[in-house]
Structures are given as structure tokens and as C-alpha cells.
A and B are shown apart, each in its own frame.
Chain A
Amino acid sequence: MFTTQLLDVVTTAGVLYIVALGLLIVYGVLKIINLAHGAFLAVGAYAGVVTTGLGWNPWTAPLLAFVVGVVVAALVEWRVLRRLYARPLDTILATWGLNIIVVQLITLYFGREIRFAESAIGRAVTVSGATYSEYRLVLLLLALALGVAVWLVMQRTQIGIVARAVIMNEELAQALGINTRLVRFVTFCLGAGLAALAGALLTPLVSVHPNLGVPWLINAFMLVLVAGVSLANLALAALVLGGAQVLVSSYGNPVLGSLTIVILAVIILRFRTITI
């Protein structure tokens, strides 16, 4: 029982981390909350439907999802978002509108009914006496790998250094000759690509329908609000909030559990000083 609960906590944190990562990156650099995050999750999930339809290996779904996410995001950034950076409040409207448009396009093409996406792993394995879903364990590893990869990009690559400069002080970075427009473009594409990737990784856990992203968007939003722009904080927030949700659901009930993330987020925000 204890092992199972421990695994529940860490794997739930892993799933939340994967889902929130793209949102955090966009928020960090662009200072906007991408409300189309849920739509990109859906795009990724439907990449799984497409690869299943084509008879491809289920592991190609996350890759296809990432590519499609990046392409859609590139179009949107180029034609819409770029004009709105000076008006942060309007970006909320624009990204929410984008969310509706993308979800409706998916609905038009695939229909509202649930669709089938092949799972790569559906087995259970035994971990120190507890039988547990192998896929959730794989997701945990993927969360760690994604976290490390994004951290390395931010710390060790040119684009990462530039991005961090923009995060810390955009005007100063601009004055130093950094092409902030390019940084924003790349970041938005990367964030959306990660969101779509997360969507594809969710399909073995949940059914695929056009609105599947909405509940995840809300949780991811709470996590990002609590974490600010730090990758380590995001991991911590996922562990604390996700863990609390699992434990309250286990010892109380899932109705209370689903409130936990929101309530804890409010409490933490009350006491956390906003730092970047």
C-alpha cells in the first residue's frame, strides 16, 4: 500500500510536470499565459489518433505531435501573437480564441466523439511487491528526461543563454542587440511543441476527444502560477500539489482531492513572494 501510494505521488507529479512544462516556458520568456495550451494538448493527442490510423509505431506519435505543435505555433506567432506583445491582456483573449479555433477545427475534422489511439505500453509491472502501471513509470522517467533536457538547453546553449537574458530583463537584452523577436518566436514554438508532445503522451491514460486539454490546462495553470518561471520550482510544485491531490483523494475522497491543487495554489501564492 505504501509503495503504491508513493508511486502514485511521484508519477502524478511526473504527469503534471510534463503537461505544465510547455506552459511554463512560454510564460517565462513571453510573460503570457498561453490559454491555447489545452488545444495544443489536444493536437498532440490527435497525432496519436493519426499514427494509429496509419499503422505506425505508437512511439512515433509524440514526435509527430511535437512537429505539428511547432508548425501550428509558428503560424500563430507569426500571424497573430507577434502583434500583441505590447498588449499583454489582449494575448489572453487571443490565445483563448486560438484555443477555441483549434478545438473546433479538430471537431470539424475528427468529430466530437472519442477516438482511438494505440498505446505503446498497457502492461503492469511489479515494483518492490506492488503491481503498478508500467506506462506511468515510463512517464516519470520521461518527465525527468524532459526536465533535464530543457534545463541543459537553458544553461548550456546559446539560445538558452539568450532566452535567460530575455527572461531577466528584456529591454536590456534588446539594447545589447539580442533579437528578442526571434527568441519569443522560438520559445513559443518550443512551448507549444512540448504541449503537443505532452498531449500525445497522455493518450495511453485518457480517451481522446477535442476538449481533453481543458482540465489539464487548469492544473497546469495553477502549477505555473505557483512555480513562477523556474524549472526546479515547477518540479517541486508538481510534487507538492500533485502529491497532496493523491493523498487527499486516497484518505479523503477524489472530490476533495480535485480541489486540493487549486486551494493549495491559492495558499502558496498568499505567502510566496514573486521572484523571477
Chain B
Amino acid sequence: MRERWTNTRSRSLAALVGVLIAAMVPAGAVQSQDKKPIVIAVPVGLSGVNSVVAPAVVQSGELAVEEINLRGGVLGRKLQLVPLDDESGPAGAVKAFNTAIRQHKADTIITMETSAARNAGAPIAERAKTLFIYTSFYEGRACGKHLFVNAWVPEQVVPPLIKFMTDEKKVKKWFALGSDYAFGRGMIEAAKKTIKGMGGTILGEEYQPLQQSDWTAIISKIRAANPDGIIYSTSGGGPNIDFMKQFKAAGLKMPVGSLSIDELTAEAGGGAAEGVYYTGDYFTGLDNPANQKFLEAMKRKFGGNLKTPNSLSEPEYDGIYAYAKAVEKAGTTDVDKLVQVLPTIIFTGPRGQVQMNKQHHAPLPVYLAQVQADGKTKVLKSFGLVDPGNQCPNLK
């Protein structure tokens, strides 16, 4: 009996609550509809070759989303970050993009990926009319109505480096070398064009298979050619250090420009890459208030788990801010409106001023840096905003 009584009472209580809720329904329903979060999918290489850098990308995204949400989100809606694993390749990207669009109903995809993964994922986003902001530097000329890029293409980092080495280091006779794959050859191709344009000569050009870590034969060829300077583009990470260790140990001393080294790799190599010049759009050592603020916020949020921000991870932060500002300005997440508005958005972040107004690409602040004796990177100078050139002539 007692149980039954309780039951009846709870039922009537429930009924009362029900009535109260019903009274609030008209307002409530509209509210919850509006307050649905804006979903930002991040298909990124959590496994595979990109798994070294992917956690840093996700952290950049988490910070941007947290900061924007603390200010009340966008149009009264919160942002929600959904990281997905694209396995660093095309097959994984297809799965991740479909999951993002169909299951998570992503409003946008903002991510750093390998070129192979991007080439597989971009058409899926294009068909689904989902705005895709690509935040990785890449070989250039990826175009789509819904595809935007806020990171560098070779036209932005190669000519400044070659020009610096020609003018300041008096390099006229060059030796070019790289890893034998699309990105390595593409970067060297761009470098050769600039070198010839500046009246330099190329004494030798050599490519090494990706899996080969012994550079002995190429180093002997460099010695025989005796160039004024070296320009190289290996695959990312280890091969940079392999080459530089062996180059140094062979007693070669000419200036070296790298199109493939990054801050983390240089630091992991200790002094191996000391003296190497390279260009880029982001370095932790950039001396501007936005970067200080960004780095401090990252340290506060992630503490000991912080993955050092780098030129592949920082643009994720910029990309989310650019998207949020575009939504705010357009007053909607409607993709057709955003495609119009996004190129007008200027976000001044840790890298400096970024606006994707050049055929869906962005003129970027480019800096010259040099690896120091302890492996740390020192920013030597700024080239100002460098134009990406004609990446997608069919787009505005």
C-alpha cells in the first residue's frame, strides 16, 4: 500500500511538472532550437604519419572554441569541437568526412590534413555543401567553392628564402636536393624557378628515396660540385636531421636553406641543424602580443600535456576564429552566405593578419628564422604580408 501511495503521489507530481513544462513549451522549443551548438568537425591524423602533430592541432582548436564560448559563443550559440581520426590518409578521410557531415551534422570542417586526405575529403564536403577551411600548408592549387585555405603555399615561403640567401649570403651557385615524393619535388621545383629568376645557377639536383636514411652519395656529390649554398626539401621530421647530421659530419660548411624543417624537428635534433635558414608563417618565438597571449593561454589550459604549438597547428586556431567572425557578421550559419562573407573577415592572431581574400587563399605574414646551437629557432626578420599568387583563377 505504502508503495502504491508513493507511486500515485509521484505520478501526480510528474503530472504537475508536465503541466508546468507544457506551459513553457512555445518559448522553450524555439530556445532549444536556437541554442543548438555550432558543430566544428576536425578530421585529423590522430593515427598514421600525422599523429605527431595532430594532438597539437586539436589543442589549438579546443582553445579557440573555449575562448569563443566563454564570450557567449556566436549568435548566442556555443561552438562544439568534434575531432575525428582521418588516419592521415584518403580512406580514413572519407570515413571521417562522412561521419562529420552525416552523423555529427557538422556546420563546418576546419582542419589540418595530409594532401592525400584532403583530396579525398574535400569533394565530400563540396557535395554536401559544407564549408571546409583547410589549415595546413600544402603544395597549392586545391580549389573548391566551399574550400578555403588559411596556411601557406610554396609561392609564399620559397621566394623569400631564396631571395634572402642570394642577397645576404651571396649564394649564386646552388645545390638542390630532396626526398623523392610529390611535396619534396614540388618545393624544389618552386625553388629552382626562383633561383633561375634571380640569375642563380643550379649545379646539381638530387632526390633520395623516402625510406633511405643514408645521404652519403648525395653529400659526396655536393662536395664535388662545391656550391655556394644548399636548398633542400626532405619529408617532414627525421630526414631533416638525418641529412643535417651527415652534412655537418662530412665537414661541409656552406649556408643551408630548408623547405621542410620545422621548430619541433629542429629542437629534437639538438645542434644538428644549427645554422639552417627557413621561412614560415608561424614560430613560437614570434614577438607580438597576440602570440604571447595565445602561448600563455595554451600553457594555462593544457599545462604539462601541452603539445608545442607550431606552423601546422596554430592555423587551426585562426581558422575557427575566422569562421566564428564570419558567422557573426553573416548572422547565420548558412553556407552560401558564409562563402560570400568569409573573404571579408580579417583576423589578427598569433601569426599576424590573416584574411582569406585571394582566390580562397590568404596573403600571410612570412618570417625568416634560423636554427640556433641548442636547436631552438630564432626569428630573424619579417617579410610582411606575402601574396599566395594565382592559386584558383576560377574563384574570386
Contacting chain A: which of B189-197, B237-245, B277-285, B355-363? B237-245
In chain B between 208 and 235, which residues have their CB closer than 8 angstroms to a CB of chain A?
208-209, 211-214, 216-218, 220-221, 223-224
Known: A133-B251, A135-B249, A207-B241. A255 touches B180 (CB 8 A): yes
The CA-CA distance from A177 to B208 in the complex, in Å, is: 53
Q: By the criterion CB–CB under 8 Å, are A254 and B251 in contact?
A: no
Q: By the criterion CB–CB under 8 Å, are A205 and B242 in contact?
A: yes
Residues of B within 8 A of A122 (CB): 245, 248-249
Q: By the criterion CB–CB under 8 Å, are A254 and B218 in contact?
A: yes
Q: By the criterion CB–CB under 8 Å, are B217 and A254 in contact?
A: yes
Residues of A within 8 A of B349 (CB): none
The number of residues on chain B lying at the interface, defined by a beta carbon within 8 Å of a beta carbon of chain A, is 37
B218 CB to nearest A CB, Å: 6
Q: List 20 A-B contacts (CB under 8 A).
A: A1-B224, A4-B224, A113-B52, A119-B245, A119-B249, A125-B251, A131-B223, A132-B250, A132-B251, A133-B250, A134-B249, A135-B249, A205-B213, A207-B242, A215-B212, A249-B216, A250-B217, A250-B221, A253-B206, A254-B212
Q: Is A257 engaged at the interface, CB distance under 8 Å to the other chain?
A: yes
Residues of B within 8 A of A119 (CB): 245, 249
Residues of B within 8 A of A113 (CB): 52, 237, 264, 268
Q: By the criterion CB–CB under 8 Å, are A116 and B251 in contact?
A: no
Q: Is B154 engaged at the interface, CB distance under 8 Å to the other chain?
A: no
Residues of B within 8 A of A118 (CB): 270
The CA-CA distance from A4 to B223 in the complex, in Å, is: 9
Q: Is B348 engaged at the interface, CB distance under 8 Å to the other chain?
A: no
Main secondary structure of the interface of B (DSSP, over half): helix
Q: Is A99 engaged at the interface, CB distance under 8 Å to the other chain?
A: no
Q: Is A12 engaged at the interface, CB distance under 8 Å to the other chain?
A: yes
Q: By the criterion CB–CB under 8 Å, are B269 and A205 in contact?
A: no
Please name the 8 residue pairs, one residue from A and one from B, whose CB atoms are nearest each other, closest first. A124-B251, A249-B217, A207-B241, A207-B238, A133-B249, A131-B251, A215-B211, A116-B270
B209 CB to nearest A CB, Å: 4
In chain B between 232 and 275, which residues have their CB closer than 8 angstroms to a CB of chain A?
237-242, 245-246, 248-251, 264-265, 268-270, 272
Q: Is B375 engaged at the interface, CB distance under 8 Å to the other chain?
A: yes
